Structure 1
Amino acid sequence: MKRLKANLISVNIGQPQPLVGLGKTVITSINKTSVDGEIFLSKLNLEGDEQADKKNHGGLDKAVCAYPYEHYPFWEQELGNKLPLGAFGENLTLKGLEENNVHIGDVFQWGQAVIQVSQPRIPCHKLAKRLGNEDTPQCVIDKSYTGFYFRVLKEGTVSVTTPLHFLKRCTDYSVSFVNNNFHHDRYNEKVIEELLAVEELAASWRSMLRGHLEKILEKQ
């Protein structure tokens, strides 16, 4: 396996605030601000970052959201404007880690902290409102430009100047592979059974996949 190399472009945090988009107002933390200094990464989030909707965002398996900087040129052309770093509500804007080369369970050292890829991100209506285009979430899914989440295995101080060092790979399943099964091949019984056995995949995702499997079995 080629050793993964990741460059941090920006570390972004945000607090709940009103967002007006597509004619509606929602309370969200999707608007992030870049931070340069050292901050503490806990099991739940980066210092200064907070989720507005704790039912669908945040938690142990979604402590840190990452998005590949490599996707920004596509979206800038698609949306017709220059995007600020953190435009997708991500905590980490990074280069070198994309959905097709990052696997569920990949472990990285980041400063004093140790983090592990836990699941793909599922885009929601707030991303559409943030970017002013109602088609963006579906396009994210179609392109598999979802980004992904980290859980925190070890808390500690981190910063944008502290690189991510790849430590180990735990599974054979890339983020893109999981995306494809969930969004486009969700009734593939064999693949679902394989993913259900992946302990490193977030519990919420395994629960959703178990629901898909139950629907398959009901039709048999």
Structure 2
Amino acid sequence: MPQVISVNVGSPQPTSQGKRIPTGIGKHPVEHVDVRDPGPKHGGEGSGAVGDFIGDRRHHGGSTQALYAFAREELDAWEARLGRDLPSGTFGENLTTVGYDVDASRIGDRWRIGPEVVVVVTGPRIPCSTFAARMGERGWVKTFAAHGRSGAYLAVETPGRITTGDEVAVVSRADHDITVPVALGAFMGDLDAADEVLAAGVLVPDEHAALERTVRRRRNVRR
């Protein structure tokens, strides 16, 4: 049965990069968490998980990145590849799942988690320098992106409480073929994937416009 095997929140911690803004990427398990729509990136509550700290609200958090889900099976595969233990929450995920292929999700898929919470898949996790610093692996951003299985950001459609052990059930599937890995490729420079994502119109307006600008810039550089 697909379920959440770990619910994780972060506390403020200094970054190893010496940035003035602390980070909440290092998450620790809790028994349960209340989730809600945190509002916009700028001026909102940050994380959709109450009590979860987000330092860089310019790039993280907000309604379309309210929660982050990652599969325990993927963490296990990375453990084998890197030769180190990766406890649930290591990648900064709020929800560590088991028994469900998170990365097979399409943008717009809706999940029910537990008896009341409904979330919507909004996009991939884009690896950043804070993630790379936390992992301490040479070339981590490129390595993680090339693997193509980033886990998924979620918006909170119906608020409520998520408890460790809650079942994850798909409520509805989006009527297009843009999966999380396709969207990740688009944001990481795959122009064919970007064209596919833009044509499908699955992103929120700000992200759609940002991807359009990136595509134009990359194509102008190629000329």
Within-5 A mapping of 1:1-220: 6-20=2-16, 24-26=17-19, 27-37=22-32, 39-44=33-38, 45-95=48-98, 96-99=100-103, 101-111=104-114, 112-170=116-174, 171-186=176-191, 188=192, 192-215=194-217
SS at structure 2 position matched to 1:17: coil
Structure 1 residues 206 and 127: CA distance shift in structure 2, 3 A: same
CA separation in 2, counterparts of 1:202 and 1:140? 24
TM-score, structure 1 normalization: 0.84
Given residue 180 of structure 1, which amino acid in structure 2 is its aligned partner?
A: G
Q: TM-score, normalised by structure 2?
A: 0.83
Q: Distance in 2 between matches of 1:52 and 1:216?
A: 30
Q: What RMSD in Å do the two structures reach over aligned CA positions?
A: 2.2
The separation in 2 between residues aligned to 1:78 and 1:184, in whole angstroms, is 25
Change (3 A) 1:199 1:40: farther
**Where in structure 1 are there 5+ consecutive unaligned residues?**
none
Contact 2:67/2:95 (<8 A) preserved = yes
Deviation string, structure 1 residues 104-163 (Cα, Å, up to 9, x no partner) = 111011232210000101011111221221322211101013111001111122212221
- Relative distance call for 1:204 and 1:143 in structure 2 (3 A) is farther
Number of aligned positions between the proteins:
208
Q: Which amino acid aligns with 2:31?
A: D
Q: Deviations over 1:3-48 (max 9, x none)?
A: xx6321211001221143xxx34421011110113x3111021111
Measure how far apart 1:214 and its partner are. 3.0
State the AA in 2 paired with 1:210: E
Change (3 A) 1:211 1:184: closer
